[in-house]
Structure 1
Amino acid sequence: MCIQQLHSSVCIHSHLLGQLSLHWTVLRWNLKADKNWELPLPPGSMGLPIVGETFHWFLQGSNFHASRRRQHGNVFKTHLLGRPVVRVTGAEHLRRLLLEEHNLVGANWPQSAQVILGPTSLANSIGDIHHHKRKVYAKMFSHSALESYIPRIKQVVAETVRDWCAREGPVMVYSESKKLTFRIAVSVLLGSLPSKEELTNLFTVFEQLTQNLFSLPLDVPGSGYRKGVQARDKLHGYFEKPIEDMLQSSPEYSTALGILIKSSQEQGMKIGMQELKEAMVELMFAAYATTASACTSLILQLMKNPAVLAKLRMDLQTNGVWPESTTGENVSRLSDVTHLQYLDGVVKEVLRLLPPVSGGYRVALQTFELGGFQIPKGWSVMYSIQDTHDTAPIFQHPEIFNPDRFAEDQMKGKDARFQYLPFGGGVRRCLGKELAKLTLKILAIELATISHWELATKTFPKMLMVPVVHPADGLKVQFSAQLCNEWHS
């Protein structure tokens, strides 16, 4: 039964269940409040027995949390993916959660994600183990490492954009962006790409994993959970040989896998085969799904805001990033990209308006107070990035796409630490954020200097939030090649 059909079935029977179901659900979860605390549970609904509000969440997307926040405030309860959840919005609440990890809250991905990513993954690590792993992994995203990745990223991006421009019909931007970021992830991790057929098969398996990473933990034939586990096992099998080859020879330190192996040796941390396989899958997921979402949003926002695109092109030309060919040879070092302030603002504004991941998961390690309510020990806590961006007082007119809001003079004196956090915050902020931004900037440069694009449908699509932000129809766009000097003719 597909999710739409199941939702319809729930709606048909909900009237028959009526107040009896509602009373049972409320009573059940009130019993889980901490009796040693007089503070009430946050307001909100726990939905139906067992499934809670999971299907409403999938179907309503961003409207699910936004509507409940408007009704209940910045701290409310719900029931998602088999767990009671408190949803939290606002810098004043996020500051406490993110700074007191390992004290008030700990890492808590849904059970399906925990199993599929694996017990040794960085996402599932806690305490000192997590801290040490981050030090080892951080070397893959150092300045020197990022600079060594630039040629591979540029090559993949340039080939992709030329392919889009050469097509006669519209491009499905979201699906093509996933292929783009997947190729970048494989190239950065391994140093080269497999054959076209092998890459296509690998991509299909990886799509199966990402589509089922967040699923009800029902291990039965045909379930999303079972499909996700099967995809994980296939990926582990594929990565075993390149890992063995790397371990048996001198690691190539211009690849992320080689840098990871070397960094682990330097830190005195022996990484075995299973841990490296789980690291590969986790790193690819982090580099693939969220960056594909951001690439799609970048193209969408530049298409929606032609004045921003025109200003970006002018700024690139002023700063000498205006290649005479389609290869962008004058962008070869990290400094060639990082000094472009308006481009930096464009990328930051894309991530503010449409952060790829709408929130992060934690679990209450002890009962604590937040916003005048008790958060019981063992409950999930989901902090909202999207809603926090939308309500942050430092961003005037948040519905408007305005890269100039990130200009140095505009941000001076503003504390954005917990009001702007597209990559999360605290001890679990995204390690690969600079790689993601570098990819977005190289894509923006390539698009702005050699291509033209326009929407191939009558209206812009609705944006869905699960598992990452993406357009409902995939975003159909017609691309065409255009010489850079034509933009000023």
Structure 2
Amino acid sequence: MLFEGLDLVSALATLAACLVSVTLLLAVSQQLWQLRWAATRDKSCKLPIPKGSMGFPLIGETGHWLLQVFSKIFSHEALESYLPKIQLVIQDTLRAWSSHPEAINVYQEAQKLTFRMAIRVLLGFSIPEEDLGHLFEVYQQFVENVFSLPVDLPFSGYRRGIQARQILQKGLEKAIREKLQCTQGKDYSDALDLLIESSKEHGKEMTMQELKDGTLELIFAAYATTASASTSLIMQLLKHPTVLEKLRDELRAHGILHSGGCPCEGTLRLDTLSGLRYLDCVIKEVMRLFTPISGGYRTVLQTFELDGFQIPKGWSVMYSIRDTHDTAPVFKDVNVFDPDRFSQARSEDKDGRFHYLPFGGGVRTCLGKHLAKLFLKVLAVELASTSRFELATRTFPRITLVPVLHPVDGLSVKFFGLDSNQNKILPETEAMLSATV
């Protein structure tokens, strides 16, 4: 009996320690998210920070006055105007990857790609490539230190993050001023245009500081999560060549690829992408199995009970996207990459609510989810129609979840140029070595 009593005491002590650890982890995590707001904003900025919001639009945490603006930025009409520009940015990037003599680090290059997309397409900045590369390096330094503890000492992460933000905002201010002065020749309204126009409609003339802060938040929202999902997409197409071939078959059926293999002429359209059912299934399955963000925060508006536990009004709670996807009873063989689970015949995600929520759920769902999915679809189409690629290592790398999901070594992949029949174009030296005499 004595040993049983000790076991009970030990179990209760362990449980109490776990509860304390989880509580502290939740508190620290929320504080770090709030520090993200402090790091991206200038102290003089008057843009309101909403209660319970962590300022990450791509996972549904935006709830302030920019809500109406974002609804315009991510509307169907806006996405239609972004699409040709997104396709061009992706095509240019894939050509650069294919011309590189060595394997590339996909995660690092995907970060550059999403940064370039945000700068060129969302914000409409005409920044020279050399300056854009420098701006990206500064932005990376900013992001690496964005969750640092607020200890303002020399060589601290916080100080490096603040310094990077200052350099970044100086570069953004220059780009904004040039953009405001050059209004000729534009064929579409980008996100920054809509931000400025909407603020005027609401009787609010945005200051330069507010424009810089809003610009930086748009870049932040479009950057890390999309780069993570893009890397996961490429990894899964490498792991599952049958999925890639099935995707190519669908592109041929819809006139995007010729029967011989080479891509058809012309740019994509939203209605064309909407008709690619298997492509939609592939993107959904990538986002189910490799959700970039672990979860999100919410503020309890009304006391409720969950599995016998009372959650008081005013508490901050965190929901886990990954655990939800892993434990949802509607999904069969949850660890298997199976795009067909989202096909019309199976529709595993349609049974019940909140089983599938890569972009959050409810009224606070991600406002930018349609742009994110559009970007991933265009990337998948271009990969399937214009690229050949191989894993450059013996095995696939491990996956880490911090700060967002990504391969530990970035995923080393060799891309090849293609001829009109989608055959690999070998570099000149390799072609000479392999030629028969």
TM range (shorter): 0.7 to 0.9
Question: Are 2:5 and 1:80 aligned?
Answer: no
- 1:141 corresponding residue in structure 2: 74
Structure 1 range deviating more: 220-229 or 372-381: 372-381
- 1:20 corresponding residue in structure 2: none
Question: Are 2:367 and 1:442 aligned?
Answer: no
- 1:387 corresponding residue in structure 2: 323
Question: Are 2:386 and 1:475 aligned?
Answer: no
- The DSSP-based 3-state class of the residue aligned with 1:130 is coil
Distance 1:285 1:269 in 2: 24
- 1:341 corresponding residue in structure 2: 277
* 1:109 CA drift (Å): 6.1
TM-score (norm 1): 0.73
Name the Cα RMSD after superposition.
3.2
Matches within 5 A, 1:445-460: 445-460=381-396
- 1:92 corresponding residue in structure 2: none
- 1:318 corresponding residue in structure 2: 253
Question: Are 2:288 and 1:352 aligned?
Answer: yes
Distance 2:155 2:47 in 1: 28
Distance 1:271 1:442 in 2: 33
* 1:398 CA drift (Å): 1.0
Distance 1:375 1:265 in 2: 42
Q: Sequence identity, in percent?
A: 51
Amino acid in the other structure paired with 2:366: C
The structure-2 alpha-carbon separation of the partners of 1:127 and 1:398, relative to structure 1 and needing over 3 Å to count, comes to closer
Amino acid in the other structure paired with 1:310: E
* 1:225 CA drift (Å): 2.5
Structure 1 range deviating more: 307-316 or 145-154: 145-154
Q: Is the 8 A contact 1:208 1:231 kept in 2?
A: yes
Matches within 5 A, 1:405-424: 405-411=341-347, 414-415=350-351, 417-424=353-360
- The DSSP-based 3-state class of the residue aligned with 1:360 is strand
Distance 2:152 2:304 in 1: 34
* 1:278 CA drift (Å): 1.3
* 1:241 CA drift (Å): 3.1
Q: How many residues align?
A: 399
- The DSSP-based 3-state class of the residue aligned with 2:331 is coil
Q: Is the 8 A contact 2:32 2:149 kept in 1?
A: no
- 1:273 corresponding residue in structure 2: 208
- The DSSP-based 3-state class of the residue aligned with 2:345 is helix
- 1:284 corresponding residue in structure 2: 219
- 2:431 corresponding residue in structure 1: none
Q: 1:197 aligns with which of 126, 130, 134?
A: 130
Structure 1 range deviating more: 367-376 or 271-280: 367-376
The structure-2 alpha-carbon separation of the partners of 1:364 and 1:211, relative to structure 1 and needing over 3 Å to count, comes to farther
Question: Are 2:298 and 1:362 aligned?
Answer: yes
Q: Is the 8 A contact 2:232 2:286 kept in 1?
A: yes
- 1:66 corresponding residue in structure 2: none
* 1:178 CA drift (Å): 0.5
In structure 2, stretches of 5+ residues that fail to align are 1-9, 54-61, 424-437
- The DSSP-based 3-state class of the residue aligned with 1:480 is strand
Note the alpha carbon deviations across 1:407-436, whole angstroms, 9 max, x for none: 123228924541111111233322111111
Note the alpha carbon deviations across 1:323-370, whole angstroms, 9 max, x for none: 689886433322121211111111111111101111113355787644
Distance 1:468 1:358 in 2: 8
Matches within 5 A, 1:227-266: 227-246=160-179, 253-266=188-201
Q: 1:125 aligns with which of 22, 41, 50?
A: 50
Question: Are 2:121 and 1:176 aligned?
Answer: no
Question: Are 2:299 and 1:299 aligned?
Answer: no
Q: Is the 8 A contact 2:118 2:219 kept in 1?
A: yes
Amino acid in the other structure paired with 2:38: V
- 2:34 corresponding residue in structure 1: 111
Note the alpha carbon deviations across 1:199-249, whole angstroms, 9 max, x for none: 111001111122222233333222222222222222222222333455567
Note the alpha carbon deviations across 1:104-162, whole angstroms, 9 max, x for none: xxx97623212113386989324999354211221111111111112221111111111
* 1:399 CA drift (Å): 0.6
Matches within 5 A, 1:46-125: 46-47=20-21, 77-80=22-25, 83=27, 110-118=33-41, 124-125=49-50
